[in-house]
Amino acid sequence: MLIFTAIFLLCACGQDMRNQPRYDPYQAAPGWPNDQSARMPVEGTVSRNQAVETRPTTLPEPLSRELLELGRERFDIFCSPCHGGTGNGDGAIVQRGFPAPPSLHSARLRNAPLGHFYDVISDGFGVMYSYAARVPPDERWAIAAYIRALQLSQHGSLEDLTPQQRRELERQNQGGKAP
């Protein structure tokens, strides 16, 4: 056994792997295009310092009922286990002992731009991991729009309504039907 170990060690001491022919950066390289060892980057290469994705900071499509319904559906699937159905941070996971996420109704998050929610869904934040691989970009925007609707539903006031909406609400509260 000792003989095999000695042979193995002697064979492994070779310098062939360490002393392979190579070019140093910017060294002339005859036979290569333009006789240069440094190659031009492949088209479409992204620098480490270059942003890969430019994200809009506002909703990239018009707000619609369909968008909010999609956002509600996706929120219920991906967000409510932690954030709860109303966004208060009391989802089923929290009730089983996991750390509570911040309430989506906190003043800080109510004042956050819509793009903040998109970014958090995309990149994660704190103990929340990224959902970029699970939720496509258009659905992330739908969730962000739905979060804003949830916030407005809990913190809206009569001053937020147009005069016509106020009259309609008063008619409904009086038992009458809106025209």
DSSP conformation class of 41: P
Q: Where are the domains of the chain?
A: 65-172
pTM over the 0.75 mark: no
| Token pair for 164 | 């016509």
pLDDT of residue 52: 60
Task: With a cut of 90, say whether residue 66 has pLDDT above it.
Answer: yes
**Angle at CA of residue 119, ends 93 and 98, nearest 5°:** 15
Give pLDDT tens digits for 43-55: 888 777 766 666 7
- Which tops the pLDDT comparison, 23 or 81? 81
CA–CA separation, 158 vs 139, rounded Å?
30
C-alpha dist (Å) from residue 157 to 152, 153, 161: 9, 9, 7
Nearest to 54 by CA among 117, 142, 109, 119: 119
Task: With a cut of 60, say whether residue 177 has pLDDT above it.
Answer: no
Q: The dihedral of CA 88, 91, 94, 99: what is its sign?
A: negative
Q: At what angle do helices 137-155 and 114-123 cross, to 10 degrees?
A: 130
Task: With a cut of 80, say whether residue 1 has pLDDT above it.
Answer: no
Task: With a cut of 90, say whether residue 159 has pLDDT above it.
Answer: no
Give pLDDT tens digits for 112-141: 999 999 999 999 999 999 999 999 999 999
Bridge partner list, 28: 36
- Please name the CATH architecture into which domain 65-172 falls: Orthogonal Bundle (1.10)
Contact (CB, 8 A) for 121 and 143: yes
